[in-house]
Amino acid sequence: MGGDSYPLSLDLTDRRVLVVGGGPVAVRKARSCLAAGARVSIVAPQLDEPGLAQHPRVVWHRARFDRHHLAPSTDRADRFWLVHTATGVTEVDTAVADAAEDAGVWCVRADDASRSAAWNPAVVRGAGPAEGITVAVTGGADPRRATRLRDAIGSRLDGTELPVARTRTQRSGRPAVGHVALVGGGPGPTDLITVRGRRLLEAADVVIADRLGPTNLLEGLPASVEILDVGKQRGHHAVSQERINALLVDRARRGLRVVRLKGGDPFVLGRGGEEALHCAAHGVPVEVVPGVTSAISVPAAAGIPVTHRGISTSFVVASGHDGAGPTLDAAREAPRDATLVLLMAVSALGRTAARLVATGRDPDTPVAIVERGWSASQRVTRTTLGRAGEDAGRAGVQAPAVVIVGQVVTVPERMQQGCTEAVG
């Protein structure tokens, strides 16, 4: 090898490729060429995968290599464009390479990359946000080195560590259908979104965002990213769910990468299932990225575990948005000691608490209401089930808040008491 190599991609569609050798390396080379659309001639006395010879674009010559196998042809359709030699015998591979040189055909030697006229790079093809990207790595005649680097690049192709976002749309024809990612953003802090969610957000063409979750991340996106605020507030749903569904499909059909950024987890009372079904029904690929659900993380922000040995071994998550009915339905079959976690329950808290007491829950059951969990303005109101509505009203509790009902609410007090006693 003299000087720098000249990187190049080949279109092998309907072009002939000669593969010399019948072992596993040769078989892999043949299959790679077939995947690229080539017509493959194999020269080898034996073939590790005899079934490969049944492929309609494969011709197997049961013979040892001879120079006549590379005899020049005046018929363009019958000439060879590329040669792979992988016999494992240096003398044979050298003879194949010499014959290819005389015939004016590029030859890839599997036995000695330093003596090869051409090289197969280690290749990785992107998916998701990186779809359409192909990275080929050569390692200076060291295939294992190239493979290690290829794998390291591949692990980063689906995220923000590499600039994979599209910068132009297709110039002709109908745009390819894009992609929708339902990303759970967690309870709000930017460092509680998953790594994958962050990567998809950074690679997005369009972000359709709720008001909860890590909305601060939107400020760092490129100006070219379309950001649509569809956040719902109490008594004010500026954008209907039907409109949100339509926006997801519309932008994806334009060939764009769409991120639906939600607070918490999209599949925990987040209507993510509805959005996924709507996209699927319209032929739009959907990826779901789980998030740190507020049902667990917001109690944790207040030091409250939803389960605790000796207190509760299970918990129930319910929506309080529609009043006591769904809450009672969720709690009816649960163990009596199960922790009850209520989301969107502030407006109907008094009625819900009263119904729970009326159906047998102890009015002295501890309750904690955590407002704006994980934010600088987080506030915890502690009360009991019998007084929850009254105390919440007196304290001016407002959404967003998570309500925790059960003996686990006392765990932070026990922890504090234990620390005090230990210090004393």
First-last CA distance in the chain: 76
Separation between Cα atoms, residue 30 and residue 34, nearest integer Å: 6
* Catalytic residue check, 265: no
CB 340 within 8 A of CB 404: yes
Q: Let me know the angle formed at the C-alpha of 102 by 97 and 107, rounded to the nearest 5 degrees.
A: 35
The two tokens of residue 368 are 């904690």
CB 206 within 8 A of CB 254: no
Choosing from 210, 262, 265, 391, the catalytic residue is 210
The two tokens of residue 303 are 């030091």
Neighbour-count burial of 91, counting CB atoms closer than 10 A to its CB (0-12 exposed, 13-18 middle, 19+ buried): exposed
* Catalytic residue check, 210: yes
The two tokens of residue 390 are 């009254």
The two tokens of residue 244 are 């949100």
131-159 b/e (C-beta count within 10 Å ≥ 16 → b): beeebbbbbeeebeebeebbeebbeebbb
Separation between Cα atoms, residue 290 and residue 266, nearest integer Å: 7
Alpha helices in 73-184 (DSSP H): 90-103, 143-154
73 C-beta neighbours (distance < 10 Å), count: 12
Q: So which residues are the catalytic ones? A: 210, 232
